[in-house]
Chain A
Amino acid sequence: MRSAAAADPGVAPAHADPPIVTALRRAEADERTGVLHAGDEGAFFLDRGAVTYVTNRATTGLDRLVMSSGTVSAEEWGRVLLAVAERDGAPLREAGRAPGLGRARLEMFALLAAFDAASSLLGSAAEPRFEAGPPHWLAPVCRITPATLVLERTRRRDRLDAEWPDDRADTAPVVPVRRVRRQRVILTGLQAELLLNADGHRTAAGLALDLGRTTFGCLLAVRALAAARLIERPGPAVRPVAPALATAPAPGEPPAFWTPPDHDVLVRLRAALEELA
């Protein structure tokens, strides 16, 4: 009975790492340099085992973050990208020279984009594929260990659940409510941006891309809006009940952590205690 529950395919994968995490750990141990693709969803760029940049089709990329910051002109960013494409270009020097960007800001944007992309890509079920190649141009300024990315992913998911524990809010279109059943509402700047730009069709990730904000920041804001009843919440949850039943003992069977008392041992224990007294 019990062994059948343990072999249930619905229970086992919850504890196992997704294939992409295993592949990333292996690449770190082998100190490999190149690109680790997760299907066609995105890729991790590696330099001697460390992650230097992450792309993800579903999250807001570096380009979008930089361009919508409002302080970097298209021309300045274009010069950086041109230097990336050139054989002997120096994109980092170019970025440091741009008055609206600077090296520190570029580093910051790169880190935010990489963590943002990694948090959802690490859960990908796609088959990982490694391709050796030269390190990414951001390698000198951005180095993250795979373990840090995995920890950060767990932390971020906990943060989301602490805000509003229903992950359907992440994928559903953001629909502001028509009537606010409160006298006073306090919003963060980002929450206001989301409410003002929601068109009833776009999801949190779509709005993030449109506004040039990090996807995680928007997911967090959307969950907070759901908790505050400012956007339509998804309907009642349809939750599978099987995992909870799988661990319960069969009816009539005594619980496993209770065993009948051994009278012999009890008698000997009492004798020993009496001797002590």
Chain B
Amino acid sequence: MLGIDGCLKQIMEIPGSHSATLVDGASGLAVAAAGRADPVDEHEDAAGTTDVVRAVLATPALSTTRTGDDIEEIIVCGTRGYHLIALINDAFEGRLFLHLLVDRDKGNLALARLRVRELLGEMAGGEGA
């Protein structure tokens, strides 16, 4: 019976995790955050990443099929780290997504992606799903 904070704590245990923010894309609200010292940052983070998600969803050039497919992840690779924006495509109201910053030297992008999918699945499915 994990709450949101419990899930974020597990996400922060992914090797190389620097910070994680759970954002409601419909409003740009930072629902929860972990790994940040400054509380102002998480709201700026939420507003900024919401714009990115919106832009990607509104760009037909970034869809794979003619009718448009759903976006699961947006990855931005910096020289020092990876930004992983994982969208929760289920019945959640709004468009919730997780923004995870992974250190490039200490972390592994493929591992982080797998773990994030697993944990978000657990969170969305509730216990025993």
Contact = CB atoms under 8 A, between A and B. Distances in A.
Contact of B93 (A101, A141, A212, A220): A212
A248 B19 CA distance: 50
A228 to B, nearest CB: 11
Given A104-B7, A111-B31, A220 B26 contact: yes
A93 B1 contact: yes
Contacts of B95: 189
Q: Is chain A's interface secondary structure helix, strand, loop, or mixed overall?
A: helix
Interface in A153-190: 155-156, 159, 186, 188-190
Interface string B94-112: 1110000000000000000
B81 interface: no
Most A CB contacts (10 A, CB to CB) among B6, B60, B93, B124 go to B93
Contact of B26 (A105, A111, A152, A214): A214
Interface in A87-121: 93, 96-105, 107-109, 111-112, 115-116
Nearest to A119: B27
A98 to B, nearest CB: 7
B4 A108 contact: yes
A65 interface: yes
B29 A71 contact: no
Interface in A201-217: 212-214, 216-217
B29 A107 contact: no
B3 interface: yes
B91 A71 contact: yes
Interface string A39-80: 000000000000000000000000001001111000000000
B94 A102 contact: no
B26 A190 contact: yes
B8 to A, nearest CB: 10
Contacts of B47: 155
A70 B93 contact: no
A96 B1 contact: yes
B126 interface: yes
Interface in B63-81: none
A99 B27 contact: no
15 contacts: A93-B1, A100-B129, A102-B1, A102-B126, A102-B127, A103-B127, A107-B3, A112-B94, A116-B27, A159-B27, A186-B58, A189-B95, A214-B26, A214-B93, A217-B27
User: Across chains A and B, which 3 residue pairs bring their CB atoms closest together, nearest first?
Assistant: A102-B126, A96-B1, A217-B26
Interface of A: 65, 68-71, 93, 96-105, 107-109, 111-112, 115-116, 141, 151-152, 155-156, 159, 186, 188-190, 212-214, 216-217, 220
